[in-house]
Amino acid sequence: MLTHADSFYDLIDGGNSVLLCWYMEVLFAVLYATLIGFYNVFKKLAVTKTHGTVILVMFTTTAFACSLIWLPFGVAVPWHLVWILALKGFLIAISWFLVLRILKTVDLSIVTVTDVLSAGLSFVLGIVIFHEGTNLWQVIGAVIIVLGVVGINLCNRDSKGRTTMLQILGLIFSALVSVACSVFDKYTTTYLTPYQVQFWFLFFLCLFVWLFFIVECLCYKKVLIQKQDLKNFWIYLVGIFLFLGDFFLFQAYKVPGSKMIVISILSKLKVIIPVFMGILIFKEKHIWKKLLFTAIVISGAVLVSAF
């Protein structure tokens, strides 16, 4: 029964097949990237009708509400691990509020630098902290993926004025938070079930997002959530897809022998869905360039996962 299994992998195999370990790790990582890709698309649709911070509050609340289904599975965890999940929720909440303000004026060419930084650090820390093995093909694949992601971002480049040092530092902080969260995920899923990790992470994320939002409301001296915001169904889809995406991410980390190196690099595939949706829905420019860079990203993912 599901209540007696730590993850989907335990239900299927029980931890005995190396080949199945590889298959499930790659499958879960790709599912995560795909769902987060749709999450980003829905977020872009939601922001056309609702203020950014309101969207942030509403979709994190929706995601936490979804995580309540894990209560029957048992969510009691040791306190030292609760503090790690609380720290992760706090850092991501700060990072999201920063990015909401930074990306309004920053040049996207700077964002590509932080993509490279987060990918590189994840690769290094996976080797240094968790002693994960790698090979030349995986390194080449990781470089190809990063180059493809950088290319896609540069296709969206739109000069928005001078980028300040504070904005650059904010983006670097966001990249470092992303890397730290990969380390937290790998560590906590070693000792906890994916259900426990997801429940407590979303609980603290929702808590801190609401605290920051209340402070913002007090600063503006008004309630920022309006009645029409509650009717923006795109926001609820953002929360649901965040919940589903994170579910498969934690499942990927729980697979025996899974590597932070592989999962963090494959997570960059999340740029693919927004590329296709941008062409179909938003009628974005530079179609062939984006498709070329998307093909580059996919080829890099094949190298990372196949070797």
Structure confidence at residue 1 (pLDDT): 36
48 pLDDT more than 50 = yes
217 pLDDT more than 50 = yes
Q: In the predicted model, what is the mean pLDDT of residues 104-128?
A: 69
Which pTM was predicted? 0.86
Q: Which of 229, 273, 249 is nearest to 42 (CA)?
A: 273
Q: How far apart are CA 231 and CA 40, in angstroms?
A: 19
Highest mean pLDDT among 14-18, 24-28, 154-158, 220-224: 24-28
Task: Give residue-wise pLDDT tens across range 67-87.
Answer: 999 998 878 899 899 999 999
Percent of the chain whose predicted confidence (pLDDT) is above 70: 84
157 pLDDT more than 80 = no
4 pLDDT more than 50 = no
Higher pLDDT, 253 or 283: 253
Task: Give residue-wise pLDDT tens across range 94-111.
Answer: 988 887 776 555 555 555
Task: Give residue-wise pLDDT tens across range 170-206.
Answer: 777 888 898 999 999 999 999 999 999 999 999 999 9
CB 131 within 8 A of CB 260: no
Structure confidence at residue 114 (pLDDT): 66
Highest mean pLDDT among 21-30, 107-116, 164-173: 21-30
Q: How far apart are CA 109 and CA 57, in angstroms?
A: 28
Task: Give residue-wise pLDDT tens across range 181-191.
Answer: 999 999 999 99
The contacts of residue 195 (CB under 8 Å, 6+ apart) are 70, 73, 75
Q: In the predicted model, what is the mean pLDDT of residues 119-135?
A: 84
